[in-house]
Structure 1
């Protein structure tokens, strides 16, 4: 006789809210490590190359920042399927250890080659972007997921806000390596807490353990109860992110929309310094302070999402005879998509016609608020619609938006060079308005379209 547990009520752990806050704040280590390097990349390259003006310094500075995104585009394609095969816990532990090791190599790097390799490994080993939303799906019921995912997406952005400010101050006092060692200490503390307190949340892995333990107690054959590593299943899991993307038109459409919107982060980041310096004649210090407008927009979108995302879901569910649908996550995303194009066009006008500085700062707040409102519900939608395959679907989303963030800013630079800021951002705004048709159509027809894919059908969600 062999026991197989094939269903569970999926009760969330009793410390779910505690882990929500911990995962959110721990993820700041990732954003701090990534963004703190950006404003001082030129100083780092000059130090490693022996002084300013060395051949290839400018390109190396750009690569030092962007190679993280390229690594992060690769990592999810094995992090997500491995978590669905072996559970979240093991993958977190391995990838976090790899992440810390890569930061140590970066701190000790004697040349740009090792430093760039270390940054790429950091991007590859980032598990939080893929697994944190999946863990929320494991631990929270649908009525609570919207708020939870909002927090786990927005709170880590505090690290992105503090990173450039802290790195600029430490650079002048202790040097750039001290900044990297600070990241080592922060991530090591988080890893110790993970090892001590974190427990498996993936219900498939939990039930496998439970079945194996019961089989051991009754003396069942160990063939199936202990040897749970199915290499055929492992190969299937490894290609699942691509399969989910190709198999589900709904996920593919939202991935396209989300990647396009996410690229606006890097389009603004790469164009704003030149606008502030060359159009508004601001000093480097004033330029850095102007970036705090992004933090204001992030806080505004966080407050709106936290207040409304779950409330809208519950209201629409009550109007549908108590049946909740993933599509009920999308109204805020549609609002964000519709309000983003006017902000993009106004941003181009500010640069082209030198509108008052306060108008530019207001536009930055507007841009960031609209971007985050458009993006944050997509994560909740993927978790709700893909169920136990949400990590694989998130892998596709994260990889696509990283690639878009590496490619589209370069294209935007050429476009503004030909058409000017006003013309270039007119084109970008028009594309943004057209892309918003995707979440609108999915909101209206997504329930029917989802049934065409095994990974997003109602049967798949109920497993």
Structure 2
């Protein structure tokens, strides 16, 4: 094709685009850039649809207000979903009495919600990398609302356990989407701040849930725990529909390419993702995507080790959450309402851990960049921060366990819980940041893979919490947890720090 023909084709394309009533000036500017003849040495394919430099439609180049709006909506949605996972804790004895449940069935009604979050992300995460973050978030919001309402109307233990599991399946999308969305819009330099703000609100839900549940159990029926959170969920559905914007870059580019093909009548416009998948059927694309978390778990040592580390922290957190109310009602003989108030210590620890952890993550990275001649750092540079975070958490566990063992003043017990939760929270944030950076192309699938074992421990640890503390007491029980964290745990973190880059280089492709 000669140069004049190419110029006529591009002029006709631009004229056709001018006739589109729905296109914004920003989109027109971007499309003009993409339909101009290639710049020598810059681009050798004028039909490849990609983001231009400083493209405002690129999620990483969005204005900070839009980034924070998306982050805050996702965070608030996560707050309600995680609050529902723990709100039952203070009311478990009352629910067990009304629905005639034994101790195992009672803990199943509490933990089945968390069990579902092990399996949900394995499906939801990959689907968000095919259909985008926005439709998956909206669909899971509605699913969660329906089954959470059903839990409030449960009149037998089987309905309650099943309803909790299905509600947890819908709630699990927050674990699949959080890493993907934050990785879509925030750069590694902003990872600590964005994680600190995002993760604060959902994890506060884990602590606030028992506080609210304690007062509801003492003053009204436990069913209002589900009905009230369902009302809040309805509000969040409206907020997500109005404020959440699609963040998945390949889908944004795909929609742009479709507009170009329609406007110009030229079917040669394509995206890099479309070119990779052009010979694959829908079934093949979905099969590849849905199998990705399993392939990561089976063939990527980084995911395997990171899963074990995250699972231990999360399991301990849920063990503490599930057993904390029993400590106050059975050993300190306080009311159900007052036992719920002690979860303020959990909330305080997570508040300190999330904000301090976010600051330290970004400050540590800035310091390393300033010292290096090459500003590019491997994701493994974040891992040394786990060591001091672990020590803080383990010291808190020992203080909490032994002060409770000797029945010391409640302030000492709560201080131990604050320190334990702060350290565990900081350790978890470091691992989240590492996985997001290490698997930037498929963050949702990678986090779904790590979430499986994490949720399984959160499901299982509360089941043996009563037996652990009954057999060993709070002091030796927590000492055992610290010993497991120190001896097998520290070597795992060290091996990930030293070998993670080599493991990732030798692992199969995530495609």
- Give the TM-score normalised by the residue count of structure 1: 0.88
1:315 corresponding residue in structure 2? 367
Given that 1:3 and 1:215 are in contact with CA atoms closer than 8 Å, whether structure 2 keeps it comes out as no
Give secondary structure in 2 for the equivalent of 1:451.
helix
2:395 is aligned with 1:342: yes
1:209-288 superposed matches below 5 A: 209-221=255-267, 230-288=282-340
Counterpart of 2:424? 371
The equivalent of 1:37 in structure 2 is 88
Distance of 1:270 and 1:41 partners within structure 2: 10
Q: Which residue does the alignment assign to 1:324?
A: 377
* Alpha-carbon separation, structure 1, partners of 2:270 and 2:154: 47
Is the 8 Å Cα contact of residues 218 and 336 (structure 2) preserved in structure 1? no
Does the alignment pair 1:100 with 2:111? no
Whole-Å separation in 2 of the counterparts to 1:93 and 1:285: 35
Q: CA deviation at 1:443?
A: 2.7
| Helix, strand or coil at the partner of 2:127 | helix
- Per-residue deviation at 1:37? 2.4
- Report how far residue 284 of structure 1 moved: 3.7
**Gaps (5+ residues) in structure 1?**
none
Distance 1:211 1:139 in 2: 21
**Contact 1:3–1:214 (CA under 8 A) maintained in structure 2:** no
Say which of 123, 142, 150 aligns to 2:188.
142
> Normalising to structure 2: TM-score of the pair?
0.81
Count of matched residue positions in the alignment of Structure 1 and Structure 2: 451
Distance 1:311 1:185 in 2: 40
In 2, distance between residues paired with 1:178 and 1:233?
43
Which stretches in structure 2 are left out of the alignment for 5+ residues? 1-44
* Residues 455, 257 of structure 1: alpha-carbon distance in 2 compared, 3 angstrom cutoff: farther
Kept in 2, the 8 Å contact 1:2–1:221? The answer is: no
Equivalent in the alignment of 1:392: 445
Counterpart of 2:42 in structure 1 is none
Q: Deviations over 1:365-413 (max 9, x none)?
A: 1111111011011111111110121101111222211101222344455
Partners of 1:246 and 1:7 in 2: how far apart?
34
Q: Mark the CA change 1:172 to 1:361 in structure 2 (over 3 Å): closer, same or farther.
A: closer
Deviations 1:227-253 (A, max 9, x none): 987321110111111111222212211
Task: Give the Cα–Cα distance (whole angstroms) in 2 for the partners of residues 253 and 200 of structure 1.
Answer: 31
Q: Are 1:62 and 2:107 an aligned pair? A: yes
Query: 2:230 matched to which residue of 1?
Result: 184
Cα offset, 1:223, TM superposition: 12
Answer whether contact 2:49 2:269 (CA < 8 A) is retained: no
The match for 1:5 is: 49
1:172 Cα deviation after fit: 4.9
Instruction: Say whether 1:299 aligns with 2:351.
Output: yes
Preserved contact between residue 208 and residue 344 of structure 2 (Cα < 8 Å) = no
1:163–1:272 distance in 2 versus 1, CA, 3 Å: closer
Bigger mean CA deviation after superposition, 270-279 or 116-125: 270-279
Counterpart in 1 of 2:500? 446
From 423, 433, 436, give the equivalent of 2:490.
Answer: 436
Distance 1:236 1:244 in 2: 12
Distance 1:407 1:168, change over 3 A: closer
8 Å contact kept, 2:435–2:447: yes
Change (3 A) 1:415 1:169: closer
Superposed CA deviations along residues 299-332 of structure 1, whole A, max 9, x for unmatched, are 2112312322111112112222211321232233
Q: Which of 204, 215, 218 is matched with 1:158 structurally?
A: 204
